[in-house]
Amino acid sequence: MANLMELQKIKIPIIQRDYVQGRDDDRAKEVLENFLETIFTSLAQKDSLHLDFIYGYYENGWFIPIDGQQRLTLLFLLYWYFAKKEQQPLSIELSYETRAAAREFCKKLIDFDIDFSQKSISEQIKNSKKFLPFWTNDPTISSMLRVLDEIHQKDKKNIAFKDLTKITFEIFDMPDFDSLQAEELYRKMNARGKVLSSFENFKAIIQKIIFHKYPEQYKEIAQKFEGKWIDSFWQSHNDCKVVDELFMQFIYFITEMRTYTLKHKGNVKSPLFLEQFYSNKENLQFLQDRLDRVVHFKEKAQWIEKNLSFFEPKKQETLFDEIIQNYEDMSIANKLLAYLLLEVVIKNWNNEAILQLMRIARNYVHRIRALRNGRVDYEINMAYKDMKKYIDAFSPFLQDNSNPLFPTILKPYEILYEYRWSDKSMQQEQEKAKLIQDYNLQNEIWSLEDHPYLQGDFSLLLACNFIEDRSERIRWIYHHFDELFVTDHLLCRSLLAVGDYALWIGAAWKGAKYFFGEKAKWEILFTLNERNKEHITIYNQFFSMLADQYPDITTQQAMQSIINQKLEEYKQKKKDWIYYFLKYPIILTPFKKY
């Protein structure tokens, strides 16, 4: 393990390109920003920062980098900045063989006088008599000046020259390899220093890791990048630049989800983070396994879309398309659903097991929701800080024989049935699974789960006990649920005849606002939330009154009968507001123009 002080003399060979980290374009700015932020954060916290391997060889006392030019130049500028600031001697020499101007500039750099109280370092250097005007035309010098200004802006005043020795790297001496290996390594890995596409940089990072740690796999991985892996995304688009971006959206997604499972925070778009993260053997294998199965994942995402309705909106057709075309705006719920689908594809589950798990997951995520104040809309209320908790909730389904009671041959409903769940939302799924397993109610339960007014949530239906036998209760609801909503005002009035079920939804100018029910909004009333739990007894009594009259009359007739019965009671008592709602249906009949 070395630091820059130990190299002393560094010569950038003529084969190398210009120094580009300070280029004035968006991509270069992003790379530099991420790199400097990582460095200054580590130094401010007095932590060590390891920059992995620098590849090169020694010649006549000079270190000649084959890969690592950009990092070494940035480190040199950091050492120069803090040495100047603290008036420390700098024994490090940097020479650029690529251009004479850059080489002369590096020699003269130590002689410039700097006032660190001023805003710009570069302007002081350029205004100095020692600075030759034509140097401004040299791209390497221009980049170095911009980087010095960035370092100056990032300086947190609590970092000392001696702290820079905490930035370390390994020297990989190239003479240990033959010329062909060295040339291949340069061609593949020197791309990290260029401002290339995210895909090209990522490919270089992974191939570099493989080359050093698992050389026997290098040829295979290189071929997969050029063939199988990238071809998986060509089917989604036929433009090379776009395909590269689709590939990287997938990389960002699987990296992000992996960081949640490991509680490993980091910027998944940072090349430095990606290099550190995938230097770990388990993470690297995780990556390869998922890239190997992209085509299968895409096919299964298309299949599940045809066999299961998802309640969480998507901008793209499938969960796979959401990842590669809408990653930036992808909802937390869809990220979790996509991750679970990808994991079972990796495990090669059959279609029946996949459909069961995705149905459970869809129901689960959609119940993590809240009412928006003043409106009658549910919104998913998931938080990134809880993502590991959400993933862990599904770990009993995904474990590989770690629990001998639940071998992988068990399907999700069988695991649901047997496992002791502490998660209340999973307990509801377990209750439904038991009804399916014990009473052969899959058709009834799946149909009700898919209903837009339940959306996988049986909380209200399971809380009611108007028919003691749970299986008969589900069958009755299955046969009669749709009939409740033929005429909205009839349902509203029959419920009011049982009790004041109206849902408070917020304050209005002259009082409170209440919701009585409306087409396309009934899920607000027929699933339990924080505002209607006190109304369970009303719904239970309502269902009980309907069921008592079945099968003598239709559900619509039964609801009208409940209303008529209540109106008869008003003949013997004082009329209140509920009476007028029952007597005059127009009050609860929606008119769009009013």
Half-sphere exposure of 300 (CA within 13 A, CB side): 25
pLDDT digits (tens, 9 = 90+) for 508-520: 777 888 999 988 8
> Does the structure show a pLDDT above 50 at 192?
no
Percentage of the residues of the chain whose pLDDT score is greater than 90 = 50
pLDDT digits (tens, 9 = 90+) for 314-342: 899 999 999 999 999 999 999 999 999 99
pLDDT digits (tens, 9 = 90+) for 349-408: 999 999 999 999 999 999 999 888 778 889 899 999 999 999 999 999 988 654 555 555
CB contact at 8 A, 436 and 512: no
pLDDT digits (tens, 9 = 90+) for 474-514: 999 999 999 999 988 899 999 999 999 999 988 877 788 89
Q: Bridge-partner residues for 511, per DSSP?
A: 508
Q: What is the pLDDT of residue 193?
A: 42
Distances (CA, A) of 468 to 213, 452, 538: 64, 26, 17
Q: Bridge-partner residues for 63, per DSSP?
A: 10, 58
Q: What is the pLDDT of residue 334?
A: 97
Dist. CA 256–CA 258, nearest whole Å: 5
List of long-range contacts for 106-109, beta carbons under 8 Å, 24+ apart: 109/80
Give the helix ranges, DSSP H, for 263-330: 271-277, 281-292, 294-307, 319-326
H or E segment and range at residue 460: helix 459-463
**Locus of tokens 């620098």:** 54
Mean pLDDT of the chain: 87
Mean predicted confidence (pLDDT) in 40-46: 86
pLDDT-based confidence at 22, cuts 50/70/90?
A: confident
Q: What is the pLDDT of residue 180?
A: 46
Q: What is the pLDDT of residue 252?
A: 97
Taking each helix axis as running N to C, give the angle between helix 198-213 and helix 179-189, from 0 to 180 degrees, rounded to the nearest 10.
150
Q: Which residue has the higher pLDDT, 170 or 251?
A: 251
Dist. CA 339–CA 93, nearest whole Å: 49
Of residues 26, 38, 32, 30, the one with CA closest to residue 273: 38
Q: What is the pLDDT of residue 457?
A: 96
Q: What is the pLDDT of residue 20?
A: 67
Dist. CA 7–CA 91, nearest whole Å: 10
Q: What is the pLDDT of residue 179?
A: 41
Of residues 123, 190, 194, the one with CA closest to residue 152: 123
pTM, entire model: 0.70
Mean predicted confidence (pLDDT) in 232-246: 74
Q: What is the pLDDT of residue 133?
A: 85
For the ranges 37-51, 149-163, 405-419, 497-511, the lowest mean pLDDT is seen at 405-419
> Does the structure show a pLDDT above 90 at 259?
yes
Dist. CA 492–CA 291, nearest whole Å: 53
Percentage of the residues of the chain whose pLDDT score is greater than 70 = 90
pLDDT digits (tens, 9 = 90+) for 438-449: 999 999 999 999
CB atoms within 10 A of CB 273: 18
> Does the structure show a pLDDT above 80 at 100?
no
CB contact at 8 A, 370 and 330: no
Q: What is the pLDDT of residue 261?
A: 94
Q: Which residue has the higher pLDDT, 97 or 98?
A: 97
Provide the token pair at 152.
């100056």
Dist. CA 171–CA 191, nearest whole Å: 19
For the ranges 29-43, 195-209, 489-503, 524-538, the lowest mean pLDDT is seen at 195-209
> Does the structure show a pLDDT above 60 at 238?
no
H or E segment and range at residue 409: none
Q: What is the pLDDT of residue 186?
A: 53
Q: Which of 20-29, 267-276, 354-363 has the highest mean pLDDT?
A: 354-363
pLDDT digits (tens, 9 = 90+) for 519-571: 889 999 999 988 888 999 999 999 999 998 767 789 999 999 999 999 999 99
Mean predicted confidence (pLDDT) in 276-282: 93
Distances (CA, A) of 100 to 21, 39, 74, 115: 19, 30, 19, 28
CB contact at 8 A, 255 and 335: no
Q: What are the residues whose beta carbons fall under 8 Å from the beta carbon of 307, sequence distance 6 or more?
A: 351, 355
